[in-house]
Structure 1
Amino acid sequence: MAKFFILIVLFFSISVAAQTEFFHSKINLSENKLEEFYSSFSIDDAQVYFNANDYQVYAYDKKTGDLNWSYYSGYKTNTAPISVQEKLFSRITDGKLLQMNPKNGDTIQTLKIEKLYTPPFFKDNIMYCAAILPEIGGAILAYDLNTNNILWQKYIGHGASYQPYFLKDKIVARFEDMFWFELDYNGNALDKSENCYSKNTEPPFEEYFCNIQYDIVNQYHKDLATKNVTIDETKYYYGANATVVLKGNKLKIINNKNKVATEISIDKIITLLETEANDYTAILKVEENTVWFIYENILAVYDFKNNKTVKAFDLSKWNPHQVILDGNNLWLISRKDGELVGLKLELDPADEAIRAAKAKLFNQTHQCGNEAEALNEARKKALDTVKK
């Protein structure tokens, strides 16, 4: 394997931050179980759900690290158990998707769905999602969990692996690997012009989906239900005041006017020299004018307004397979041993107090034009708090 050594070179100021490991699962995976490395995890307010390389799903308490429950799924995958709105969905080996009780791991019901690739969206107690169905394959659909029935379904084939864009009054879904189309929450196609693509001309799955005439992906969307989207090898994060795109070694910032405000090469922020290679990338958070992202075993915090990298964390000790940021805690799966790891990120108290106050007030004052004055007051209060 190619070797690189990572040296962090930060413009304007140098701040190489530390992290403390507060959790490490003790599964002790054997070498043969790590040979085919498939593993994933997700989190909610209370627990971390870890689909490990031993075909087990483990639920750990986020605060204490205690193992609350586990079960044998017979299935290991890079697609994590999905936890949303106090509901948990996980796949088992015979191609079934279970709705589980997140508190104890008990099965609530077996859904008429084989697989979810991306997080669903709930509206009026109905689940909307792209999924694999046993009868027709990939579909966009509405599902009533109370009756365990599909309300409507539209064939989209390979488009089921793409995250749908759930907007206030419409869904934008992917048809095959070809194009995006719009439909409402009753499953009706919104564009019914004659120049439409078609698929499945035999009832009851005949549809006429019209290719949208705008770029849904590379746009500013502050109200999307799912903020973090991956399409092929490109990562998208739809923040409150900017969309951030991570593709290859480039970061692109799309502002709220749908203009590319910044495009920067990551190697202008960090210099890659010599350590174990890792092609895992992720955008973890976009907050005000700052993006937290993973690139080549580095967690970088970049201020795109001021063109300044303010923090960097070296994660090469764990060579992460997947990463989730949860407040000041970073959860990851280590490629070294396949274990789940929790890290406490050591942030400067004054910086963190100011950052939190700025983020809160940014949301409160963004539309009223008093942001600068409010932020100055926040800085004062935050620094006074830290001094005390």
Structure 2
Amino acid sequence: MYNQKNITQTVSILVFCVGLLLGNIAVAQTEFFNSKIPFSENQLSNFYSSISIDSSQVYLNANDYKIYAYDKKTGALNWSYYVANKSNNAPKLYQDNVFIEKHISEYVDKCIQLNVKTGDTIQTLSIVSINTQPVFKGNIMYCTAIDTETGGIVLAYDLKKNAVIWKKFIAHGVDKQPYYLKDKIIANAEENNWFELNYSGKLLDTKCKHKATLFAEDIKCIRNFRHLIHNQKELSVSYFDIDEVLKLKYTKDKTIVLGENKMLIINNKNKIENEVKLEEIVPLTENRVSNYTEILKAEANTVWLIYLDTLVIYDLKKNKTVKTFDLIQWNVHQAILEDNNLWLISRNDGQLVKLELDNRY
């Protein structure tokens, strides 16, 4: 828990460029919470850490191999749990459950299900880890995971029976987020190869416009693309370099794609509605250290993104930056935006930090 002495620290913000030219308004934010976990130098030298958030708590998988559950409003530590593991793969949440990978012994890791209110163990699942964001239909969890016998898989898991219903081997495709649509799943089978199956695990494509030449013998037909946009059309590969890591967020009628040096707004016709050069939003300076780039939120006319230690609010309708927040002193590792609060992990010291932002613009 924290008190008034250590929660109130107003941070000065650097103005990056002339406001009249770029429309930027640099403002201050307040550090409202800091986890103050006593990490050892050895724990921080091998840095892995992640956060998740629900309606009442924020969950930190910290560098000391523990899960911490903090009250979002008061900052009180509700519980902690030693999992003997730390990861950039954030804890997965569903209703009153949190799923996290636990190191059991030298060659054994398992995914465990905890009660979010108490931190008590509900059960140990038969899979090693949940590698991407799952979806749930009642007691059934659909996700990609590591399985001890098979390796990387996409599967359906019955949480009530604590058993795998069906699974498909996808190897390194396990780390690509599937598309969970109303009547089908589109999952990755390594590189840009994707295949379709229904929620019963049955492969759907039998016409084989594109035949698979994959390790997975039972996957015969694939589609070849990098990403799908909001209306399930394939994102044109010509927009970005072939090896460029992309971050996507969707609105009702747009897809926002964040690349290494530009942000594109793609419309329903799969055309570029607007292209934003990131260096014009946040000029590169020598003291910028963080490589963390993410779209935190996308609304009808506004995008919130982090680039080069800077949180940017960008107006899509007016095509200009309306506000920036300097995050350089925290060297962001991961971040989640909720209302006017930014929860982040600082790569400087591994701490979980909550910033209260001035949202007015």
Tell me the CA shift for residue 268 of structure 1.
1.4
Report the Cα distance in structure 1 between the residues aligned to 2:167 and 2:182, rounded to whole angstroms.
Answer: 20
1:57-72 aligned within 5 A: 57-72=67-82
Task: Tell me whether 1:146 sits opposite 2:156 in the alignment.
Answer: no
SS in 2 for 1:300: strand
TM-score by length of 2: 0.87
Tell me the CA shift for residue 125 of structure 1.
3.0
Contact residue 314 and residue 322 of structure 2 kept, 8 A: yes
Contact residue 92 and residue 99 of structure 2 kept, 8 A: yes
1:7 partner letter? F
Contact residue 6 and residue 274 of structure 1 kept, 8 A: no
Distance change in 2, residues 1:6/1:12 (3 Å): closer
Q: Which residue of 1 aligns with 2:23?
A: 13
Tell me the CA shift for residue 276 of structure 1.
3.7
Task: Tell me whether 1:39 sits opposite 2:54 in the alignment.
Answer: no
Q: Deviations over 1:67-99 (max 9, x none)?
A: 000011111111111113332101111310001
SS in 2 for 1:274: coil
1:211 partner letter? I
Tell me the CA shift for residue 12 of structure 1.
5.0
Distance change in 2, residues 1:38/1:173 (3 Å): same
Instruction: Determine what percentage of the aligned residue pairs are the same residue.
Output: 51
Unaligned regions of 5+ residues in structure 1, if any? 223-230, 352-388
SS in 2 for 1:275: coil
Q: Deviations over 1:110-133 (max 9, x none)?
A: 111101111100124311001111
Q: Which residue of 1 aligns with 2:256?
A: 244
Task: Tell me whether 1:320 sits opposite 2:332 in the alignment.
Answer: yes
**Larger relative contact order (Cα-Cα within 8 Å, sequence gap ≥ 6):** 1
Contact residue 192 and residue 208 of structure 1 kept, 8 A: no
Q: Which residue of 2 aligns with 1:134?
A: 148
Unaligned regions of 5+ residues in structure 2, if any? 1-13, 233-242
Report the Cα distance in structure 2 between the residues aligned to 1:119 and 1:235, rounded to whole angstroms.
Answer: 15
Tell me the CA shift for residue 318 of structure 1.
0.6
2:282 to 258, 270, 291: 270
Q: Deviations over 1:125-161 (max 9, x none)?
A: 3110011111101111111101011111111111011
SS in 1 for 2:223: coil
Q: Over the residues paired in the alignment, what is the CA RMSD in angstroms?
A: 2.0
Q: Which residue of 2 aligns with 1:346?
A: 358
Tell me the CA shift for residue 200 of structure 1.
6.1
1:1-388 aligned within 5 A: 7-10=16-19, 11=21, 13-94=23-104, 95-193=109-207, 196-197=211-212, 206-212=217-223, 215=225, 217-221=227-231, 233-348=245-360, 351=361
Contact residue 130 and residue 160 of structure 1 kept, 8 A: yes
Q: Which residue of 1 aligns with 2:11?
A: none
Report the Cα distance in structure 2 between the residues aligned to 1:51 and 1:40, rounded to whole angstroms.
Answer: 5
Q: How many pairs align?
A: 332
Tell me the CA shift for residue 234 of structure 1.
1.5
Report the Cα distance in structure 2 between the residues aligned to 1:208 and 1:77, rounded to whole angstroms.
Answer: 30
SS in 2 for 1:168: coil
Contact residue 8 and residue 16 of structure 1 kept, 8 A: no
Distance change in 2, residues 1:35/1:200 (3 Å): closer
Report the Cα distance in structure 2 between the residues aligned to 1:287 and 1:267, rounded to whole angstroms.
Answer: 22
Distance change in 2, residues 1:8/1:339 (3 Å): farther
**Comparing 66-75 with 82-91, which one deviates more in the overlay?**
82-91
Contact residue 244 and residue 260 of structure 2 kept, 8 A: no
Report the Cα distance in structure 2 between the residues aligned to 1:199 and 1:174, rounded to whole angstroms.
Answer: 12
Q: Deviations over 1:223-268 (max 9, x none)?
A: xxxxxxxx97211112223111111011011113322211221011
Q: Deviations over 1:9-56 (max 9, x none)?
A: 554523112110111002122222211111111111111110111111
Report the Cα distance in structure 1 between the residues aligned to 2:344 and 2:96, rounded to whole angstroms.
Answer: 22
Report the Cα distance in structure 1 between the residues aligned to 2:204 and 2:15, rounded to whole angstroms.
Answer: 50
